[in-house]
Amino acid sequence: MTNKLNGAEAMVRMLEAQGVQHIFGLCGDTTLPFYDAMLRLDHNMHHVLVRDERSATYMADAYSRVTGRPGVAEGPSGGGATYILPGLIEANESSYAVLGITTDISVGSYGKYPLTEVDQEALMRPLTKWNTVIKRADHIPRMVRSAFRGMTSGRSGAAHLGLPYDIQYDAVDPSDIWADPELKSYPAYRQGPAPGAAEAAVDAILSAKNPLIVCGGGVVIAGAMDELDRLATRLDIPVATSISGQGSLAETHAQAVGVVGSNGGTDETWEMMQNADLVVFMGARAGSTTTSRWEAPAADTRIVHFDNDPMVIGANYRTEVGVVGDLRLALAQVNAVLDARGQGAATFGGAAAIAELKVRKFAEFTRLAQSDQAPIRPERVIQSLMDNLPPDATLVSDPGTSCPYISAYYQLPQSGRHFITNRAHGALGYSLSASLGAWFGRPSSKVVALMGDGSFGFTVGELETVTRARAPITFIVFSNSNFGWIRASQYADKDARYYNVDFNRTDHAAVAAAYGLKSWRVENPADLDRVLREAIEHDGPTLVDVICQNLEESNAPVRRWMG
């Protein structure tokens, strides 16, 4: 027995050293040495075999979101490498640490037209924060360390490692198997803002008459929720969020406005954005959805911007004060400045204004949520979930029918990452797969995945993975036999000229039952609450197929469709 490791074994040992506990992946010819090493070596990592490489990265993405640790997905060369792309770009643009490992053809075969040859490094370059194809086995340890450093430090994101077949058999010195413990979770190596930045931000905020904080996903990623809570409460300043920023405060918090923007925002929350004389963006890029294509804040609104990525400061708005640094450290400094000044009393009257706003916002929602109309209204599904889910439940949604309703109306009772959706690129098929990653990452939380029937068709094969894992996830399908978002857009933008958006109705409950799930089909609104309660309380995977209203017939909280 040699004291050397081969390349495949070195990869396993390096992932183990980096604190990896779960790997989501799919086997292939070029993966044989890696899988054999996973089998033979003694380690504590759990490999989850999936049915599609896209699903592996969606699972790794949601796993990363709920754990604060890098998610790991792997797949083979050729088609496997191309299928793994959607999840990597979603994680990268959403600032979540996900490592994609794609095994590759042998280095010795490059340029000889072997089966499944593709330039993986060029393929992954625009989609990832850090990327390489390893050419020598003795480079494996430091390339893994570099990938984790790239994923977890600064603005977190996705990384890619290509692992050619032949170097998986070459020797690696075991003494090089080590990892930096700081990189096992993220943000790693947090950096505080420059001296004076926190003071300047406080001065600007206190000089405003009607300020509004708008949080993106960066607040939850940084774990800055407690510092934000303290700041919002002491100043009684309203806090709105993007969809990705949900969880920055509990939705039930006195200072929580809710989601603003063109998707999941409402007329009432939009009033806050329009009326603010100073907007404080925190861990948000001030992109098209949150600002309703930069309709508000107006160009002359004063802007303070907190972010750990200096590239987003001033990208869309002239910024009066930019605070570049980790959000948790930056907000701690802001609170320390207020402490030193003895500033602790309520200042801006946010709670009273928000309470009045929410009365108006939820009046129509409550009326529609009690409707006995069939097909079932989406509002009724959201209300039933709020009535039946535990406070620490995790909701995972595709970007279609369910997403704006949850974002607008579901009152998340806890801060933190309890609502997950793929807002960066909006690929369908995300939630069915991602929910399993969320469950592996946080098995104590009840996980519910919501999707339209169009999305269901993308990754339905992962129901077999779910039943094999015995994961007690509840899947809810909003069934209306069309790609609802596009149909609603054709209704609003093209005078209801519908073209190629409708498909045949499927019995999703029967499909789920064939995979081994306990399932129901619900057409009568009177049955919905009972069925959802049974599905949520069942100790195995369940699916509820809800025959629901078409999106263009509804009161969806999407600004360009409303009014």
Residues 177 and 201 occupy one common structural domain: no
Burial environment of residue 3 by CB neighbours within 10 A (0 to 12, 13 to 18, 19 or more) = exposed
Residues 242 and 157 occupy one common structural domain: no
Look at residue 476 in the predicted model and tell me its pLDDT: 98
The domain that holds 232 is classified in CATH as 3.40.50.1220
The answer to whether the CB of 436 falls within 8 A of the CB of 466 is yes
- Look-up: residue for tokens 């390339």? 143
What whole-number distance in Å separates Cα of residue 131 and Cα of residue 125? Answer: 6
What whole-number distance in Å separates Cα of residue 67 and Cα of residue 61? Answer: 10
| Residue 357 belongs to some domain of the structure | no
Mean confidence (pLDDT) of the chain: 94
Whether omega before 472 lies within 30 degrees of 0, making that bond cis, reads no
**Which DSSP letter does residue 209 get?**
S
Residues 410 and 546 occupy one common structural domain: yes
What whole-number distance in Å separates Cα of residue 462 and Cα of residue 439? Answer: 14
Regarding pTM above 0.85, the answer is: yes
Look at residue 562 in the predicted model and tell me its pLDDT: 56
Domain span at residue 263 reads: 197-352
Residues 311 and 406 occupy one common structural domain: no
Residues 101 and 243 occupy one common structural domain: no
Boundary-marking domain end, from 352, 380, 398: 352
Residues 285 and 309 occupy one common structural domain: yes
Residues 382 and 284 occupy one common structural domain: no
| Residue 442 belongs to some domain of the structure | yes
3-class state of residue 73 by DSSP: strand
| Residue 189 belongs to some domain of the structure | no
| Residue 190 belongs to some domain of the structure | no
Segments of the chain scoring below 70 in pLDDT: 1-2, 345-346, 560-563
Look at residue 482 in the predicted model and tell me its pLDDT: 85
Q: Which helix (H) or strand (E) holds 478?
A: strand 474-479
| Residue 359 belongs to some domain of the structure | no
Residues 59 and 87 occupy one common structural domain: yes
Domain count, the chain: 3
What whole-number distance in Å separates Cα of residue 268 and Cα of residue 274? Answer: 10
The DSSP secondary structure of 125-176, one letter per residue, reads GGG-SEEEE--SGGGHHHHHHHHHHHHHBSS--EEEEEEETGGGSSEE-GGG
Going from the C-alpha of 159 to that of each of 46, 67, 375, the distances in angstroms are 20, 18, 44
Going from the C-alpha of 6 to that of each of 67, 77, 160, the distances in angstroms are 31, 20, 20
Boundary-marking domain end, from 184, 207, 229: 184
What whole-number distance in Å separates Cα of residue 93 and Cα of residue 157? Answer: 7
Boundary-marking domain end, from 352, 384, 408: 352
3-class state of residue 386 by DSSP: helix
| Residue 192 belongs to some domain of the structure | no
Q: Which helix (H) or strand (E) holds 240?
A: strand 239-241
Count Cα neighbours of 22 within 13 Å in the Cβ-side half-sphere. 26
What's the distance, Cα to Cα, between the start and end of the chain in Å?
A: 74
What whole-number distance in Å separates Cα of residue 448 and Cα of residue 442? Answer: 12
Structure tokens given for 76: 């083979």
The answer to whether the CB of 328 falls within 8 A of the CB of 190 is yes
Residues 180 and 201 occupy one common structural domain: no
The domain that holds 410 is classified in CATH as 3.40.50.970
Look at residue 561 in the predicted model and tell me its pLDDT: 61
Look at residue 553 in the predicted model and tell me its pLDDT: 79
| Residue 140 belongs to some domain of the structure | yes
Could you give phi then psi for residue 524, rounded to 5 degrees?
A: -90, 120
Q: Read off the pLDDT of residues 405-458 as tens digits, 9 standing for 90 and up.
A: 999 999 999 999 999 999 888 889 999 999 999 999 999 999 999 999 999 999
Biggest CA–CA distance in the chain, Å, is: 74
Look at residue 502 in the predicted model and tell me its pLDDT: 86
Could you give phi then psi for residue 407, rounded to 5 degrees?
A: -65, -35
| Residue 102 belongs to some domain of the structure | yes
Residues 13 and 116 occupy one common structural domain: yes
Look at residue 563 in the predicted model and tell me its pLDDT: 46
Per-residue b/e over 423-445, b at no fewer than 16 CB within 10 Å? bbebbbbbbbbbbbbbbbbbeeb
The answer to whether the CB of 115 falls within 8 A of the CB of 84 is no
Torsion region of 318: left, alpha or beta (phi above 0 gives left; psi -120 to 50 gives alpha): beta
Residues 294 and 381 occupy one common structural domain: no
Residues 376 and 292 occupy one common structural domain: no
